[in-house]
Structure 1
C-alpha cells in the first residue's frame, strides 16, 4: 500500500501473493492513479491541434461511493501534458492500483505502461477501460493488465475498487466483472469532477476554442453509417440525458468554450429547442462546438439560427464524400446536394464548419482534383480528409480484413489517417501526397488565412499552423518512406 512505503510510517508491511489483492486496516488508504497515455509518436492525430480533457476519468472520480472514497487517495495523471516522465510518476506516487484509458491507437502503449508499472511495483493492480475496451476488449488481454472494463465502466471500476479494498483475489475480481450484468443503456451519474484536472485545465483546447471544456449529453448514434465506430459502443442504441440535468452541469462549468462531444448533438429538434430555451432562461453565456448531420441542418435552418444567437460557434459535419456511390455505400443517408446546402447555411450564419470526408481507396488523381475544386468553390475553410479505415469492431472490418495493409496488432497506426487499404490507382506515397496537397489547397488560401487571422488573431493562427505542420511532417515522412 502507498502508506506502507513512505519513510517514517508505522504501518505494517502487507504481503502480496501473486494472485492476491489489497487488504487494508482502519485508517489506511489505497493510492489509485487514473492515467491518460500520450499517443505513440507514429500516430498521426489531432493531438497536434487539440488536447481535450479526459472526461471519462473525471466521471470515475466523481462517482466513487463515499464509503470507498474515504479509503482511497485518487489522482488523474494526463501524460499528454505531464512534465515528468511516466517512470517518475510511478516512483513518486507509488500507486496500488493504476487504470488506463484510451482509444485503439493507445492499446499497445497501455500494455507497455502496464508492464512498466508491474516491473517497478510488482504488487500493483492494473486495469484498462475506454471506448475500445468496450467494443474490442480482447485487445487489452495480456499478463500485465489485471482488469479490462468492457461495459458499464463507472460501475465496474467501483466494484473493482470495493473488491480490492476487501482483499479479494484478482481472479475473483475478474470473474465478478464478467458476471456484473448486461451493458446499461441509460446514464444516471454525478457530473464529472473537473477539479481533478485543475492543474491541466488551462491547456485543454480544440482548434481555436481555448480553453475548452467537454460535456456529453447523449450516447450512441441513431443512424447506421457503415464505417462508424461510435454506434458500436452502445450496440446501436441511442439514449440522451435529461436536458435540465445537462443545463445544471453546463451552468457549473467555468470555461466559456464548450465542446459538446455527443456523437450527434443535432438530432432531436425538440430536444435542441428545449436546450436553447433553458440556456435563455438561465442566462447562460457560452460558446458551443457540436457534431451535427448535414440533413438536420438543412431541415432545421431556423433552429440553427436561434442556436447561433445563443452561442453556437462551430459544427463538425460528416460530409464524407461528393460521390453518390460513396454516400450510398457508407449508408450515410445524405446527398451531395444536401451537403452543399448545409455548407451554404452555415456560411451564411457565420457558423464555423469543420468538414470531415472519407477518401475511398479507388480515388484517382481526377477525383482528388474534383474534390478540391468542390471544397474551394464552397469556401470550406477547415477540412479533415481521412482514408477509408475499416476499424475493428465496425460493420465493414470483416469485409476488408483480407485487404488490410496494417496489422491488427499495430494499434498505433489505426488512427484513420494512415492508409489501411491499398490504393487502386496510385502508390501509397502518391495517395498520401494527394491527401496532403488537397488539404493545403483548401485551407491555405491567402483569403482564408487573412479571414482567420481577423477572426481569431495572429497568435492562435500561429499555434494552429505549428500544429498542422507537425501533422504534415508525419505525412511527408510516409511519402518519403513509401509506406
Structure 2
C-alpha cells in the first residue's frame, strides 16, 4: 500500500528591518536550511519552498500559496528579528487552514524556544532540524501528535519547559542529507564577490551556492552560541559527500556556511584533494580565524590553488583590550599578520569588525582611522550583541533599553544604551561603512567593472549607509536623543 502523500510548504520570511534588507542588496543566499529539510523527507511527499524575501508583498504571496497549494504542514525558519513575521504568518495559517500543522525552526527557535510557545504554532524544532522534522512529518502523516521526538517541542499543554531550557546537541554530520536545490531558482541568489586580484570586468554579483562542510567550533567566544550547540567541537561531514555535492552544483561560485572551514587541517586538505581529483573548477568563499591562517599557511595556499578567492576573518576589534574582553583568543597583531598572509597566497580578506553600544566618538574615530590605514580588504560591521541564551546575554538583559529586544536583534541595532545619541551612533556607523568601501580590492586596485554592476554596487552602498543614518527610527522616539 502506498503511503499517503502530504503537501509540505517550507517558508522563509521577509525581514522588516531596513538595515537587514539593505544588507540583502549585497548578499542574498539560498534558503539552504529549507533545502535540508526537504531532503530529509521521503520522496512521496509534495514539498514546496516559498522564499518571501523575493517578493514585494510577502503576505499576499503567502496567502496565495496557502490557497493554491493547501498544505497539510507548514514549516517556518527564522532569525530572531524575524520572529514577529513568523508568528503573523502562522496566524494566517490558523485562519485559512485550521487543520494544518504549523512547525517552526531556525535560529530563534533554537535559542529562545519559549517565545514560540503560542497558540498559532504547534511544534518548535530546535538545533539541526533534519531528523526531528522528518519524525514530526511521519507522525502527522500517521494521524498522530508528534510526541516524544528529541529536539521537537509541542506547544500548549504538552510544552516541556525542562527540555526547552536544555541546549540541543547537533547529530553526527554524516547523517545530514544533501540539500535539495531543485525547489528554487538558483539565479535568484547572488553575493557581491571579493577576490584579491580581481580580473578586469569580473562579474560582481555571480549566482552563488551555499555549502556546509562542517559545523561547530573549538573556540569559546563568550558572545557566541555555537560552543553550547556543538560542545566545543568541530565536526566535519564525510569528505566524499561534500566533494560530490560541490561537483554537482550548477553555480560556479560557492559560499561556505561553516563556522570555521580550516580548523581541522586534515579534513580541509582532504577536501581540497578530493575536489582537485574530480577536476572541480569553482571559486570559493570560506570562514576562518587568524590563528588558523598563521598555523596553516600551506593549507590556505593549497585552497587558493583550487579556487579560494576570499576568506572571512573575525578581526572583531581594533584593540587588544576589547579582544580579551570577549575571550577571542587573539590579538590585533595576530589579525594583521593573518591578513597579510592571506594576501600573500592570493586570497582576499573579508575583515569583520564589531562596535559596542558604549562606543564614544573617539572610539568610533579610532576604528575609522584603523580602517583607513588597512591594506585592501572587504569589511563588514556588526554591533557586539551576544546570542540569546548565552551567559553574556543574561548578563546584558538587565541593561536592555527596549521593550522587545528580539525585534531589533540583527546584530546591527544596539540593545543597550549608547554612549552617544542614537542619531549620532547611526551616523558614525554609516561613516565606518563609507571608509571601508574604499578598501575593497576592486577599488584599491582600480580594476574596471561592468557599468551596470557598478551602478548596482553604488546604489546598494548608498541605501545601506542611509539605513544606518535612519537607524534611530527603529526605536521609540524618546530614545532618539
**What are the equivalent positions in structure 2 for 1:35-114 lying under 5 Å apart?**
35-42=11-18, 44=20, 46-65=23-42, 69-70=43-44, 72-82=45-55, 85-114=61-90
| Contact residue 34 and residue 77 of structure 1 kept, 8 A | yes
Compared with structure 1, are the counterparts of its residues 217 and 468 closer, same or farther at alpha carbon in structure 2 (3 Å cutoff)? same
Deviation for aligned residue 1:421: 1.7
Select between 100-109 and 355-364 the one with higher mean Cα deviation: 355-364
Aligned positions, number? 450
Aligned counterpart for 2:459 among listed residues 453, 456, 466: 466
Tell me the alpha carbon deviations over residues 128-161 of structure 1, each in whole angstroms, 9 at most, x when there is no partner.
0113212321121110000101245211111111
Aligned counterpart for 2:408 among listed residues 402, 413, 424: 413
Compared with structure 1, are the counterparts of its residues 205 and 230 closer, same or farther at alpha carbon in structure 2 (3 Å cutoff)? farther
Please name the residue that 1:281 is paired with: 277
Aligned counterpart for 1:324 among listed residues 297, 320, 323: 320
Please name the residue that 1:193 is paired with: 180
State the secondary structure of the residue aligned to 1:196.
coil
State the secondary structure of the residue aligned to 1:439.
helix
Tell me the alpha carbon deviations over residues 243-285 of structure 1, each in whole angstroms, 9 at most, x when there is no partner.
1221111111111100111011121222222122222222111
1:207 lines up with 2:200 in the alignment: no
Please name the residue that 2:433 is paired with: 439
Please name the residue that 1:20 is paired with: none
Q: Distance in 1 between matches of 2:441 and 2:112?
A: 45
| Contact residue 108 and residue 410 of structure 1 kept, 8 A | no
> Structure 2: 5+ residue runs without aligned partners?
194-204
| Contact residue 94 and residue 121 of structure 1 kept, 8 A | yes
Q: TM-score, normalised by structure 1?
A: 0.86
| Contact residue 40 and residue 412 of structure 1 kept, 8 A | no
**What are the equivalent positions in structure 2 for 1:166-185 lying under 5 Å apart?**
166-169=142-145, 183-185=169-171
Q: Distance in 1 between matches of 2:242 and 2:53?
A: 28
> Structure 1: 5+ residue runs without aligned partners?
1-24
Aligned counterpart for 1:154 among listed residues 130, 137, 140: 130
Please name the residue that 1:122 is paired with: 98
Aligned counterpart for 1:385 among listed residues 381, 405, 410: 381
Deviation for aligned residue 1:29: 3.1
State the secondary structure of the residue aligned to 1:396.
helix
Structure showing greater radius of gyration is: 1
Please name the residue that 1:271 is paired with: 267
**What are the equivalent positions in structure 2 for 1:470-481 lying under 5 Å apart?**
470-479=463-472
Q: Distance in 1 between matches of 2:265 and 2:128?
A: 29
Please name the residue that 1:423 is paired with: 418
Deviation for aligned residue 1:44: 3.2
Q: Distance in 2 between matches of 1:159 and 1:170?
A: 7
| Contact residue 357 and residue 384 of structure 1 kept, 8 A | yes
Tell me the alpha carbon deviations over residues 271-307 of structure 1, each in whole angstroms, 9 at most, x when there is no partner.
2221222222221111000111012112222321221
Compared with structure 1, are the counterparts of its residues 155 and 143 closer, same or farther at alpha carbon in structure 2 (3 Å cutoff)? same
Deviation for aligned residue 1:190: 2.3
State the secondary structure of the residue aligned to 1:263.
coil
Q: Distance in 2 between matches of 1:447 and 1:386?
A: 21
Tell me the alpha carbon deviations over residues 156-213 of structure 1, each in whole angstroms, 9 at most, x when there is no partner.
111111111211246788569979997443121321111122xx21011122352000
Select between 88-97 and 347-356 the one with higher mean Cα deviation: 347-356
Q: Distance in 2 between matches of 1:423 and 1:40?
A: 23
Please name the residue that 1:362 is paired with: 358
State the secondary structure of the residue aligned to 2:381.
strand
Q: Distance in 2 between matches of 1:447 and 1:240?
A: 31
State the secondary structure of the residue aligned to 2:93.
helix
Please name the residue that 1:451 is paired with: 445
Q: Distance in 2 between matches of 1:342 and 1:365?
A: 29
Deviation for aligned residue 1:51: 0.9
Q: Distance in 2 between matches of 1:244 and 1:170?
A: 34
Q: Distance in 1 between matches of 2:64 and 2:222?
A: 43
Deviation for aligned residue 1:449: 2.9
Q: Distance in 2 between matches of 1:280 and 1:172?
A: 45
Compared with structure 1, are the counterparts of its residues 43 and 239 closer, same or farther at alpha carbon in structure 2 (3 Å cutoff)? same
| Contact residue 103 and residue 131 of structure 1 kept, 8 A | yes
Tell me the alpha carbon deviations over residues 397-456 of structure 1, each in whole angstroms, 9 at most, x when there is no partner.
01111111233x4423100111112123x22221221111122022137996363653x5
Select between 123-132 and 163-172 the one with higher mean Cα deviation: 163-172
State the secondary structure of the residue aligned to 1:195.
coil
Deviation for aligned residue 1:379: 2.4
Q: Distance in 2 between matches of 1:402 and 1:461?
A: 45
Deviation for aligned residue 1:48: 2.5
Compared with structure 1, are the counterparts of its residues 171 and 322 closer, same or farther at alpha carbon in structure 2 (3 Å cutoff)? same
Q: Distance in 2 between matches of 1:452 and 1:317?
A: 23
| Contact residue 103 and residue 123 of structure 2 kept, 8 A | yes
Q: Distance in 2 between matches of 1:446 and 1:290?
A: 17
Please name the residue that 1:131 is paired with: 107
Tell me the alpha carbon deviations over residues 49-108 of structure 1, each in whole angstroms, 9 at most, x when there is no partner.
11111111111112213xxx32x3211111111476222221121112100011111111
Deviation for aligned residue 1:347: 2.8
Q: Distance in 1 between matches of 2:127 and 2:355?
A: 32
State the secondary structure of the residue aligned to 1:314.
strand
